[in-house]
Amino acid sequence: MTYPDLFSPDNIQHIREMRKKFFKTGSTAGITGVRPEILNFWDAYYKITKNPDKTEKQKVSKEDFSRAVESSKVLLSIAVPYMVLLHSFLQQEEGFFISLMDPNGVIIKLVGNPRILEEAKLSGFFESSFRGEGSYPGLFNISWKLDKPFQIISSENPSSLDDNLAGAAAPIHDIHTKKLLGVIGISGYWWNSHSHTLGLVILAAEAISQQLALRQNNAEIASINSSLDMALEAIDSGIVYFNEKGMIKAVNRNAIEMLDSKTTGMTEFKNQSFFSHFQDDSINSIEHIRSIIESNGSYTTNAIPIGKHDSLHCIIRNVANQKNEYIAQIQKSSVFSKSIAKEAFINPLFTFDDIIGNAPILHKAKCMAQIAARHSPTILITGESGTGKEMFAQAIHNSSSRSGGPFIAINCGAIPKSLLESELFGYEAGAFTGAKRGGHPGKFELANNGTIFLDEIGDMPYETQISLLRVLEIKQFTRIGGTKPITVDVTIIAATNQELTTKIAEKSFREDLYYRLNVFNIQLPSLRERINDISLLCEYFTEKYSRIFKKNIRKISEEAIRNLENYNWPGNVRELENAIERATILCTTDRIEITDLPESILGSVLATESLPH
């Protein structure tokens, strides 16, 4: 069926009469010239209200609106610039405004002049209006419901309050999954509107969809970048975009301040040579930089700008696939060392509340650790493997005055002897074959104003122990290949499952280092020494892994608990947690049975019980 010009005054008047007739009777008999989509939505709304002019249009609460805006941050960041551009384009005709709706039907953004937005508000349309399921079937509800572009003119709206308006809306989709991400619309006085408005809003929706896809692709690329990329988002970082000749094409304010404090404008910086700002030979040849990037993916160095004393840490990469264009990310070397400590290491998660158990011997260890946290002495945590030494170390850090600083952990037994000293104390450029250009900060340097946790201290090489002793005595060390002492303020927590006095007798651990480390000793009990805590720990681990594996396990059978309590637990709490994790996976009911436990535990218990008493 063909329809007359939807924008003609005669058609609008005819539709107005048809609407009045329909909402008076609810019958489609005698209704002519109304588009089927409009009539269907009138009919649906009639079942909700017989008088759309006097029915208040829906809105969401402030809390729900805030949540809708928060969940649509990416959509807003891309769509709002297009909305502003559209409004600017349409400003030659007064009375237009641009609207954005989230996928759940909440109006999350309006762009327009105050007068038209106020008029829209009086008709019940504003930010936080709801046009989703069961709501007023105006422009946005129809486009959302049909999931296609749509245009509505004046009296086609169910309520006469909207008769001055016409609008066009189009859904925004994920171009890969076709999932609805939102709806964008252009609304305005009907006498200023045109059928071409629909085409304009379709183009805007498609452009936003394309930009969202591009943003998603960029996010996927960014997710594989190293932690250094994240550190460079810090406030002290700068960005310089230059070509194969070194000519600067774009630069941000932070980079200008770091490179040349005399230059105040970005315009002055453009078309200058990036290399001309450095006095260091390591950053004056594009040929050398290009060769390193081709082999390593990036070029990293420390360089001092002309007229400055402090060095800058520089990372240079190609721009996307453009081999002849480069991005330099620069940061003060001192700030870089601090930010890499924050970015490269996971924040300590455990507190004293996470240490489960009621045994007096465990309570004593926790009390000692809490005292240590208040005073930050050098701490030596001793105990068998699996008793929770790093958990205690993290809890001490998080309860101390250094909780805002970094927590750096290193396993002294897991790093090759030849590399441990450079890992702990760092190295300067050229200190040894394979050393990074510009050097590398060590764990002590990164832990400044925080805590360093030296696990398996008993496995530290004898010659490295001498350097550690110096740090304990005077809080200073020197990078490998360096000459300048570095002073640090750091709490040292060491841990071991070995008898250090035995290692002293064997001449594999320094006695003077032992006394320096053993200022405040915390002895952690084995699980055998707190058998009564096993049921409590089992309950905690069962709840934890039931949640992870989405199971509804409510308890552990008494028989299973008895077997667990009779086991020797050479691996302590860590072994118990592994056993409960395995049992949770195997369990097919709401209760862990003895048959769900590892055979190694059951066999050991049976063998023990079979021994003559």
**pLDDT tens digits, one per residue of 49-103:** 777 777 778 899 999 999 999 999 999 999 999 888 888 888 656 678 999 999 9
- 242 and 181 co-located in one domain: no
For the chain, the average pLDDT equals 84
The domain boundary residue, chosen from 234, 252, 273: 234
Of 342, 362, 396, the residue that ends a domain is 342
Specify if 609 maps to a domain.
Answer: no
Residues of the chain with pLDDT > 90: what percent? 42
* Domain shared by 150 and 242, yes or no: no
Provide the residue type at 93 as one letter: E
Asked whether residue 612 is assigned to any structural domain, the reply reads no
From the list 172, 156, 173, 154, the residue with the least C-alpha distance to 164 is: 154
Candidates 323, 455, 472, 317; CA nearest to 382 is 455
Give pLDDT, residue 227.
36
Domain, as residue range, for 15:
1-234
Instruction: Please tell me whether residues 374 and 432 are part of one structural domain.
Output: yes
**Same-domain status, 247 and 215:** no
- DSSP state letter for 330: E
Tell which residue, 167, 2, 26, has the closest CA to residue 101. Answer: 167
Are residue 178 and residue 251 in the same domain, yes or no?
Answer: no
**Per-residue model confidence as pLDDT tens digits over 258-290:** 887 565 556 667 668 888 788 766 676 778 788
Question: Which among 333, 371, 119, 96 is positioned nearest to 238, based on CA atoms?
Answer: 333
Do residues 242 and 391 both lie within one domain?
no
611 within a domain of the structure (yes/no): no
Residue 84 lies in a domain: yes
Amino acid letter, 434: G
Boundary residue ending a domain (342, 364, 379): 342
Establish if 394 belongs to a structural domain: yes
What CA–CA distance (Å, rounded) separates 563 from 534? Answer: 11
Percent of the chain with pLDDT over 70: 86
Shortest CA distance to 301 belongs to which of 331, 338, 265?
331
Mean pLDDT per 10-residue segment, the chain (613 residues): 74 90 88 88 82 80 94 92 86 79 94 87 89 86 91 88 88 92 91 85 92 80 43 56 82 78 63 77 73 73 74 77 77 57 61 94 96 94 94 95 90 82 81 59 88 93 90 89 85 95 94 94 95 94 93 92 92 94 94 90 62 47
Question: Are residues 197 and 218 located together in one domain of the fold?
Answer: yes
Burial bucket for residue 487 (CB in 10 Å: 0-12, 13-18, 19+): exposed
On whether both 167 and 268 belong to a single domain, the answer is no
